[in-house]
Structure 1
Amino acid sequence: MTVPRVVLVGPMGVGKSTVGALVAERLGCAYRDTDDDIVTAEGRTIADIFVDEGEPVFRAIEKRAVHTALAEHDGVLALGGGAILDADTRALLAGHRVVYLSMEVDEAVKRTGLNAARPLLAVNPRRQWRELMEARRHLYTEVARAVVATDGRGPEEVAQAVLDALELKEA
């Protein structure tokens, strides 16, 4: 059985995709994002799945994608922001090198603008982001071996902090 070298979790817009690709490059391994897997498999955007099918259907699709990626991928893996909501997924993450990339609401505003293009932030995005984080922060922390704050840091610096937190050496 293969296992990812690093699994990144955190809220939407925190930089999991950008940082994940950098970490993979530095480790000399492949990068994979379960959101990309879902879009490829479903042939439509995540926002479209939310609108057309609803969040419960999306979460079921996401759960399958995460479980598949955890079993197949041996590089750096980034999970969607809500993947940790599923108890089975959290249990599967036990024993993996999971890093929670964190950020505060002010940083989220800078990075994403908290715009309505994100399906879970369609109405009053700032308040909804705070509520999402209140509901999820403890779950991110629960599954993480390390927490790396991304506020005020560039992707290169965050990638290095991930490697340092897990004591991984570059290839």
Structure 2
Amino acid sequence: MLQSPAPSNRDRKSRWQREPIVLVGLMGVGKSTVGKRLAQRLGLPFVDADNAIEEAAGMSIAEIFAQFGEPYFRDGERRVIQRLIDGRPKVIATGGGAFINDATRQLILSDALSVWLDADIDVLVDRVRRRDTRPLLRGKDPAKVLRELAEVRNPLYAQADIHVTSNNAPHEATVRAILKAIGYGNA
């Protein structure tokens, strides 16, 4: 379990008590699972941005992609995340592409504590093969898609305040690494 915070002169140790913690990273890295556990440990509410998007749209993300396309989805995603980052402490799990949108990324970087969850492509491929609901993978080779996404997205994810690598460690180990990185008690 590696963690390396991005250079920042902001005080991470108490930010989680003042601002939302926003988890970013590629699909399959465990943002929702880790986010729920992290929120529980911190005694904070948890919000899955993808669920909030589906609720706001009244349809699944796959249906939004199929009917309206990715640009439409990304705009709605940005608006939902903007609503979720309301200055109150909570843990928010984003979709894999949320942090790629310039406006969404700048909002997260300025008004939240961002945590990049990272894992090797082989680990991600194993995880995403368990679910067939991911629009960007429909009918495609998951390993190829994830490699291409990582090449484009990882430099942007690297702007996050904190970087935690999860790989095949239990989710609880990832939660402990985040707790340590934010300076929470006896992680």
Structure with a larger share of its residues in helix = 1
- Aligned: 1:9 with 2:15: no
Structure 2 unaligned residues grouped into runs of 5+: 1-16
Using the alignment, how far apart are the partners of 1:114 and 1:104 within structure 2? 16
Q: Which amino acid aligns with 1:9?
A: V
Per-residue CA distance 1:106-135 (angstroms, 9 max, x = gap): 101221227653111122221111101111
Using the alignment, how far apart are the partners of 1:119 and 1:113 within structure 2? 13
- Aligned: 1:145 with 2:161: yes
> Looking at both structures, which has the greater relative contact order when contacts are Cα pairs under 8 Å and sequence separation is at least 6?
2
Q: Which of the residues 90, 108, 131 maps onto 2:148?
A: 131
Root mean square deviation of aligned Cα: 2.0
Percent of aligned positions that are identical: 39
**TM-score, structure 2 normalization:** 0.84
Q: Which amino acid aligns with 1:51?
A: A
Using the alignment, how far apart are the partners of 1:116 and 1:66 within structure 2? 24
CA distance change for structure 1 residues 33 and 129 in 2, over 3 Å: closer, same or farther? same
**TM-score, structure 1 normalization:** 0.91
**Deviating 4+ runs (over 2 angstroms):** 2-5, 114-117
Q: How many residues align?
A: 169
For the residue of structure 2 that corresponds to 1:81, the secondary structure is: coil
Match of 2:57 in 1: 42
- Aligned: 1:81 with 2:96: yes
Using the alignment, how far apart are the partners of 1:64 and 1:72 within structure 2? 15
- Aligned: 1:27 with 2:42: yes
- Aligned: 1:107 with 2:123: yes
